[in-house]
Amino acid sequence: MIKNNLETIVEENKVTYKKYFDVSVDLLFEVWSTPEHLTEWWGPDGFTLTIKRLDFSNGGIWEFIMHGPDGHDYKNKIQFIDINKPNSITYKHIGDGEGDEDVDFQSRIVFEREGQGTNLIMEQLFSSKAELERVNEKYGAIEGGKQHLENLANYLEKIK
């Protein structure tokens, strides 16, 4: 993988993003799993984040609001399925926390040591190809995923 290059692969109902970060696995995992870091980078360009609650444990719930650059608030609710520190985080997006399951997908974030740095692989799995296409059309999911990881990279540059 070329350093600092983001690779995006779309196949059927899955989007995979791969990116090398010149930081340790431990730091990358920490930045992905603690509120003080998440509020600094989470989301696409122009978004800010308010965390309502975060139980970072297997079965735990994370409720948050993404504040869009257009002034709209997007409520989100995630359930952590499998946390294997510092190797991977698997979670399911389960709607907006108020019964709306408009966006329903599963993500797996894998942290792989490579030299002094880390390869990050983020997989987003949707129920079908049609569902991925719908969410991408409505929310710009694929471009949002790319911006999400670039915002992570920019934040890591600031703190390392």
User: Quick check: is 14 in a domain?
Assistant: yes
Q: Does residue 92 lie in a domain region?
A: yes
Would residue 43 be called left, alpha or beta, if left means φ above 0 and alpha means ψ between -120 and 50 degrees?
left
pLDDT digits (tens, 9 = 90+) for 20-74: 999 999 999 999 999 999 999 999 999 999 999 999 999 999 999 999 999 999 8
Is residue 2 assigned to a domain? no
Q: How many independent structural domains does the chain possess? A: 1
Determine the pLDDT at residue 100: 52
Position 4 pLDDT exceeds 70: no
User: Is residue 1 situated within a structural domain?
Assistant: no
Output the DSSP codes for 4-24. T-EEEEEETTEEEEEEEESS-
Please report, for the domain that includes residue 53, its CATH number.
3.30.530.20
Domain that holds residue 129: 7-158
Question: Going by C-beta distance under 8 Å and a sequence separation of 6 or more, which residues neighbour residue 68?
Answer: 46, 47, 74
Residue 82 has pLDDT above 90, yes or no: yes
Tokens, residue 66: 């993404």
Is position 15 within any domain? yes
Q: What is the per-residue pLDDT across 133-154, written as a single tens digit (0 to 9) for each?
A: 998 998 899 999 999 999 999 9
Residue 23 belongs to a domain: yes
- Asked whether residue 74 is domain-assigned, the answer is yes
- Rounded-to-integer distance, Cα 5 and Cα 112, Å: 16
d(CA 76, CA 52): 10
